[in-house]
Amino acid sequence: MTSDWIETTLGDYIDFKNGRTSPDRSDNAPIPVYGSNGIIGYTKESNAPENSLIIGRVGSYCGSVYHSYNQSWITDNAILGLPKNKDESEFWYFLLLRLDLNNFRSGSGQPLLNQTTLNSIPIQIPNSSNIRVLIGKHLMKFDEKIELNRQINQTLEQIAQAIFKSWFIDFEPVKAKVIVKEKGGNELAQSLAVQAIICGATTLEELQAMDAGYQGLEAQLHPLITARFPEQHGLDYWTPETISTLAAYFPNELVDSDIGVIPQGWSIGTLNDICMLNVNSWTQNNAPNEIWYVDLANTKNGVIEEVQYFTWDDSPSRARRIVNTGDTIIGTVRPGNRSYALIGSENKKLTASTGFAVLTPKSQEYIEYVYIAATSDSSIERLAHLADGAAYPAVRPDVVISMEVVLPHNSVFKAFSQITRPMFLYRDKSISQAELLANCCDSLLPKLLSGEITFDETEPTTEDVA
């Protein structure tokens, strides 16, 4: 260690204090509430200022570390850390991550981390506050890019879910045609109505209020549609397939069925009609050298948060279920926990816990439909309701695949896949980029924090590693 670095303790630079019991929470409140494992809700009050550090105090997440740029509320399951120089908060965030605070826990039963222990932890840091600030801000660029990728991925999935709901639950394109047909609109006017609904140029309520007669409808709808794509001079250049062609796939009539009205020519079936249960497992004879394993606990709301690595000899027996790109995995134990994901191209060697039902679409055109249909809020609620068992409520995989769905014409399946697949492919690329960014940050972090390399020798930017 050079003279530019000093030996000290965390307590010399950070003030620690325990959080307090959470106040009333509300989804519409602006202040995040942090527990031992991150944000657990929102409230109208705060007990922590901007640029705070939050450390898990008790339980299995004891020692977890979070950084909040904004005011927050820290519960009594966490410890609040206030850097004595608030401009250094990002530096201390990364240093605390590097220290792996879970190793400093005490207690034979419930793991516990206390202020006394935190204050006494020895550290080596740059002597210059300016260097500490710069290190923190440049490392945070990686976290910001990773978070941006996460938000984009979340938005893309929400868009895909919204399209699914519009087409296959609310039947909005079909209802648009029905409304216009009842107003005397011809096939062109009906097509324009579907195009306007699909591209978000109008709503069913606005369609209902429009003038009757095909000429009046066309005069009102066409400008709305072209205004959505001004640089492309309307929808004729919409790719990958024109919306006008897509509009032709939807019928202009609703008919009665066992579950209510559905588009004419569509049918009621189950997931089993378009996918099958994947029960394949690795054996001693065909197993890869390394098992990439995902468990229920590491999968949440479509995101595989962590992949564990085993050799074949060391892998648990539950870690041998083969999954492939395009498969949907859904947790069958406590299904209300929403442990599910769509297996993307970045998971080529993945194996899944036997606690998942693995759905393999019978056609590439069914991939996105199967995933969203099987993991929609209503489907997860249905599985949670059907789960048996007090300690470990679970459903059988055959219950998952027998869930009822609406089955459109194959042309609609194909169109839905063509529209949504680029979203999921972008998501896969974004996930791979996030892993690269995280690896780069992890590689730089110990070298910067130990003085092995100086700040001037490395100017990490997200563009350099994107």
Q: Which of 260, 291, 326 is the last residue of a domain?
A: 260
pLDDT at 463: 41
Q: Are residues 237 and 316 in the same domain?
A: no
Span 198-216, average pLDDT: 85
Q: What pairing do the DSSP bridges indicate for beta strands 328-331 and 321-322?
A: unpaired
pLDDT at 147: 82
Span 11-30, average pLDDT: 92
Q: Are residues 221 and 318 in the same domain?
A: no
Who has greater pLDDT, 37 or 178?
A: 178
Query: Do the domain assignments include residue 149?
Result: no
Q: What pairing do the DSSP bridges indicate for beta strands 73-74 and 31-35?
A: parallel
Query: Do the domain assignments include residue 60?
Result: yes
Who has greater pLDDT, 231 or 429?
A: 429
In the predicted structure, residue 211 carries a pLDDT above the cut 90:
no
Strand partners, 405: 269
Residue 405 has phi, psi (to 5 degrees) of: -140, 160
pLDDT at 435: 75
Q: How far is CA 216 from CA 129, 209, 334, 381, in A?
A: 69, 12, 54, 44
* Overall domain count for the chain: 3
Q: Are residues 179 and 95 in the same domain?
A: no
Distance of alpha carbon 422 from alpha carbon 370, whole angstroms = 16
pLDDT at 237: 39
In the predicted structure, residue 311 carries a pLDDT above the cut 50:
yes
> Measured over all CA atoms, what is the biggest interatomic distance in the chain, rounded to whole angstroms?
85
pLDDT at 2: 47
pLDDT tens-place string over residues 131-176:
889 888 888 888 888 888 888 888 888 889 999 999 999 999 999 9
CATH number at residue 98: 3.90.220.20
In the predicted structure, residue 453 carries a pLDDT above the cut 80:
no
Percent of the chain surpassing pLDDT 90: 45
Who has greater pLDDT, 357 or 107?
A: 357
* Sequence-ordered alpha helix ranges (H) in 38-101: 89-99
Query: Do the domain assignments include residue 241?
Result: yes
pLDDT at 200: 84
Query: Do the domain assignments include residue 76?
Result: yes
Who has greater pLDDT, 349 or 102?
A: 102
In the predicted structure, residue 298 carries a pLDDT above the cut 70:
yes
Q: What is the mean pLDDT of the chain?
A: 86
Q: Are residues 294 and 361 in the same domain?
A: yes
pLDDT tens-place string over residues 351-369:
888 889 999 999 999 999 9
Written as six digits, the tokens of 265 are: 């020519």
In the predicted structure, residue 464 carries a pLDDT above the cut 50:
no
Distance of alpha carbon 372 from alpha carbon 441, whole angstroms = 33
pLDDT-derived band at 376 (thresholds 50, 70, 90) equals: very high
Span 181-191, average pLDDT: 90
Q: Are residues 252 and 371 in the same domain?
A: no
Query: Do the domain assignments include residue 144?
Result: no
Query: Do the domain assignments include residue 89?
Result: yes
pLDDT at 289: 80
Who has greater pLDDT, 14 or 454?
A: 14
Written as six digits, the tokens of 406 are: 């609406």
Query: Do the domain assignments include residue 333?
Result: yes
Q: Are residues 252 and 280 in the same domain?
A: no
- Under DSSP, the state recorded for 118 is H
pLDDT at 322: 87
Q: Are residues 108 and 225 in the same domain?
A: no
Q: Are residues 250 and 288 in the same domain?
A: no
pLDDT at 235: 43
Q: Are residues 374 and 402 in the same domain?
A: yes
In the predicted structure, residue 233 carries a pLDDT above the cut 80:
no
pLDDT at 274: 96
pLDDT-derived band at 268 (thresholds 50, 70, 90) equals: very high
State the Rg of the chain over Cα: 27
14-18 sheet: strands from edge to edge: 14-18, 78-83, 52-56, 65-68
Query: Do the domain assignments include residue 166?
Result: no
Span 332-348, average pLDDT: 84
Domain of 223, in residue numbers: 172-260
Distance of alpha carbon 385 from alpha carbon 335, whole angstroms = 9
In the predicted structure, residue 370 carries a pLDDT above the cut 60:
yes
pLDDT-derived band at 427 (thresholds 50, 70, 90) equals: confident
Written as six digits, the tokens of 51 are: 């640029």
pLDDT-derived band at 321 (thresholds 50, 70, 90) equals: confident
DSSP 3-state assignment of 271?
Answer: helix
DSSP 3-state assignment of 125?
Answer: strand
